[in-house]
Structure 1
């Protein structure tokens, strides 16, 4: 057997290299063991059945193979350099994302803090106003009572003096005295609601403030995932607007989830069951594609926007509306030019329905049995107007349900959030 040292020393033997076992010239090369052998080595058990060929050809082939490997390794180095550059870009982008997101969170919470401070001050001012009003009314009431007490005291003094008068004088003062006594018997008017209205100020206080806060809040059924946005798209900080720009942003890292070359972006809400609906404002946008896509949609390759590629969309191209089937189907909308496109996905029934939400006009419906998770899909090459995801106002309705048991006065209060479409 060849030792490791022997293999290294005889991998490319010269004319005088001979076999240690048979003394024959090493004129052959065993492909299975990658060792030079002599003619006597081939028939023996060690190399029996192995593939062998002349050593001169083997050396030539091995040199060529190593040259090919060097080329592959060089390509590997280049790929590693690209990955390293992308990783460094992602590293710096993450830092920028974190700083921007932290700033945005701080601004949003500052708005909430400002709202709470203003609400607190308004409620404290209302309390002070009620306090001043009721204290003033109590002062007036106290003054009235003091005047009544003084009047009664004077009347009592007059009666005591009148009792000591003779009959003639007594009769003269009697009539006036009786009238004064009748006036004294008039009781001071009771002041209903004289105390601070505590239920008005602190009853369900947190809920009332929260309910009022909802008037300032809005909710989006779908938000954009800016990490998937093509470098030619600009997504707003609120993740509800997207605008196409012919000049691509060079600072965005080319991560796997980002679309290229298409100017597309996905929503962040995964659709796996139930119904999900949203509305997109496309007013004055001249080139767009809207719908849903399978989560596994290709991000770095070209594809046909059709159900076979995992896309269920409608599109506006060259002032014509299309359902992106295979082949695409032109939609005859007449004079209708939808400004707000409503989309509704029903996972169980396998439908994707598009409507003009302003006039509730049906545009197109795809019917499909879904097998993979879906995500909202947006594409635009219009640089003049953005596509806008419309938000909903939130309202609260409290439903009362009677609690089972002997106490019929007990009710279970259920708070139900309702999203009111714009």
Structure 2
């Protein structure tokens, strides 16, 4: 079918322009041409002759062959419907490209149809230019693709990290509750043991008391029985023994005394039982006013299981690059920020040679390097190269009497104030009075790989109003 169509197209093509006949004419030599093509050709030369066989001809022969014209029109319509390489409007082969409409066109579109007057040029040249344009247009898309692939990889790493976090957190929760359960079991066993010892002790006292009472009952019973037997004797023997018999009745024992405190001290075991156990539980419980947020920690940090200690390491850990995490500096925030009230926490910095502590605004950028100044949302002090300084602009040296072991941070959001103290001294090391942020998070930075920073637990007390 394709070969037939190809032969038909060849039969209906003008030898001059190569396109399907437009207003076809047939010369006496039986050769066929487009009327316009012959007119254009003969107008440029002196004589009229067939371009193929050179037989003489004349303008009078240029009569449109209606039958051939209808055949050409039918062929073009059929090709317009079925051939993807043909013009939909004219059925001609697509050979040009329209710059205005950005689509291929045929030769007729240049002078007729929707593309008349548009800028057109060859398909080969257009294809090269368009491919080059698409090549340049693909560059930002490829960059976006890399970003999306990186984001997908981060999400996959985050998913795996979530699983690891959940497993580790579950283990720690179970371990913490097992400690509490074991404390309660031990406390229960201790109280039950004490109860049982008191039960045995007081039961033994009552047993001994019962034995004494039984002995007294036996003695009195024997006395009564003996006297009654004497009373049944004949008169002479009875009276002879009467003196001794009557004396035995004079020895009347005292009333039996009951043992005081013989019952179990139930109130001691049940009175405010839960409160007393809870009060005693403070010996195994610690409270830390600030908890580190592992989701913000740089990948060079190793955090303790209770999230109170950070250690800067030489190695880096494979952690997802989530938006909350610091990615350049060795930094970490607390899990909870403060917007109102007064808050205090102590940080052990002993032997650590490079640290920065204080608070940071909730709006700080976690990515890239930071300038640790109040203008950038940081209110901190630091130790570096043996020098203690407040991170102001410019930085202010701190007057120190002795090396710091512990730093107390006191944040008063109601007064927009942040003060640093040595707990051994009464005067502050430094104070900021311009904490302007809707929420301030405790901030920590440490580049010392030998000694950690540690948030110290607060003292616990149980009181009753």
TM-score, shorter chain, exceeding 0.5: yes
Tell me whether 1:274 sits opposite 2:341 in the alignment: yes
Q: For residue 303 of structure 1, what is the aligned residue in structure 2?
A: 370
Pairs within 5 Å for 1:209-224: 209-224=277-292
Distance 1:194 1:172, change over 3 A: closer
Tell me if the contact between 2:97 and 2:126 (Cα under 8 Å) persists in the aligned partners. Answer: no
Q: For residue 320 of structure 1, what is the aligned residue in structure 2?
A: 387
Q: CA deviation at 1:188?
A: 2.0
Q: For residue 361 of structure 2, what is the aligned residue in structure 1?
A: 294
Separation (CA, whole Å) in 1 of partners of 2:119 and 2:393: 56
- What is the TM-score of this pair, normalised by structure 1? 0.78
Tell me whether 1:170 sits opposite 2:242 in the alignment: yes
Distance 1:54 1:356, change over 3 A: farther
Q: For residue 454 of structure 2, what is the aligned residue in structure 1?
A: 388
> Aligned with 1:96: secondary structure?
helix
Tell me whether 1:131 sits opposite 2:199 in the alignment: yes
Q: CA deviation at 1:263?
A: 0.1
Pairs within 5 Å for 1:151-166: 151-160=219-228
Separation (CA, whole Å) in 2 of partners of 1:166 and 1:71: 139
Q: For residue 205 of structure 1, what is the aligned residue in structure 2?
A: 273
The counterpart of 2:137, out of the listed 69, 83, 90, is: 69
Separation (CA, whole Å) in 1 of partners of 2:131 and 2:239: 154
Q: CA deviation at 1:172?
A: 4.7
Q: CA deviation at 1:137?
A: 0.5
Tell me if the contact between 2:399 and 2:429 (Cα under 8 Å) persists in the aligned partners. Answer: no
Separation (CA, whole Å) in 2 of partners of 1:175 and 1:229: 98
Separation (CA, whole Å) in 2 of partners of 1:361 and 1:247: 39
Unaligned regions of 5+ residues in structure 1, if any?
11-16, 400-422
Distance 1:321 1:143, change over 3 A: same
Q: CA deviation at 1:318?
A: 0.9
Tell me if the contact between 2:302 and 2:310 (Cα under 8 Å) persists in the aligned partners. Answer: yes
Tell me whether 1:264 sits opposite 2:336 in the alignment: no
Q: For residue 413 of structure 2, what is the aligned residue in structure 1?
A: 347
> Aligned with 1:396: secondary structure?
coil
Unaligned regions of 5+ residues in structure 2, if any?
1-79
Q: CA deviation at 1:61?
A: 7.2
Runs of 4+ in structure 1 off by over 6 angstroms are 25-28, 52-61
Q: CA deviation at 1:265?
A: 0.5
Q: For residue 196 of structure 1, what is the aligned residue in structure 2?
A: 264
The counterpart of 1:245, out of the listed 290, 310, 313, is: 313
> Aligned with 2:462: secondary structure?
strand
Q: CA deviation at 1:273?
A: 1.1
1:167-217 alpha-carbon deviations (Å, 9 max, x no partner): 564335544541x12xx2x12221122222222222332332222222211
Tell me if the contact between 1:307 and 1:325 (Cα under 8 Å) persists in the aligned partners. Answer: yes
Q: CA deviation at 1:330?
A: 0.7
Q: CA deviation at 1:366?
A: 0.6
Q: For residue 406 of structure 1, what is the aligned residue in structure 2?
A: none
> Aligned with 2:283: secondary structure?
helix
> Aligned with 1:397: secondary structure?
coil
Separation (CA, whole Å) in 1 of partners of 2:458 and 2:411: 18
Q: CA deviation at 1:161?
A: 5.1
Q: For residue 99 of structure 1, what is the aligned residue in structure 2?
A: 167
Tell me if the contact between 2:355 and 2:444 (Cα under 8 Å) persists in the aligned partners. Answer: yes
**RMSD of equivalent CA atoms:** 3.6
Separation (CA, whole Å) in 2 of partners of 1:368 and 1:62: 60
Range moving further from structure 2, 129-138 or 85-94: 85-94
Tell me if the contact between 1:134 and 1:194 (Cα under 8 Å) persists in the aligned partners. Answer: yes
Distance 1:314 1:61, change over 3 A: farther
Q: CA deviation at 1:391?
A: 1.1
Length, aligned pairs only: 373
Separation (CA, whole Å) in 1 of partners of 2:452 and 2:348: 8
Q: CA deviation at 1:64?
A: 4.9
Tell me whether 1:337 sits opposite 2:396 in the alignment: no
Pairs within 5 Å for 1:24-173: 29-30=99-100, 64-160=132-228, 169-173=241-245
Separation (CA, whole Å) in 2 of partners of 1:248 and 1:206: 46
Q: For residue 373 of structure 1, what is the aligned residue in structure 2?
A: 439
- Relative contact order: is structure 1 or structure 2 higher (C-alpha 8 Å, sep ≥ 6)? 1
Distance 1:58 1:375, change over 3 A: farther
- What is the TM-score of this pair, normalised by structure 2? 0.71
Distance 1:130 1:297, change over 3 A: same
Separation (CA, whole Å) in 1 of partners of 2:311 and 2:148: 34
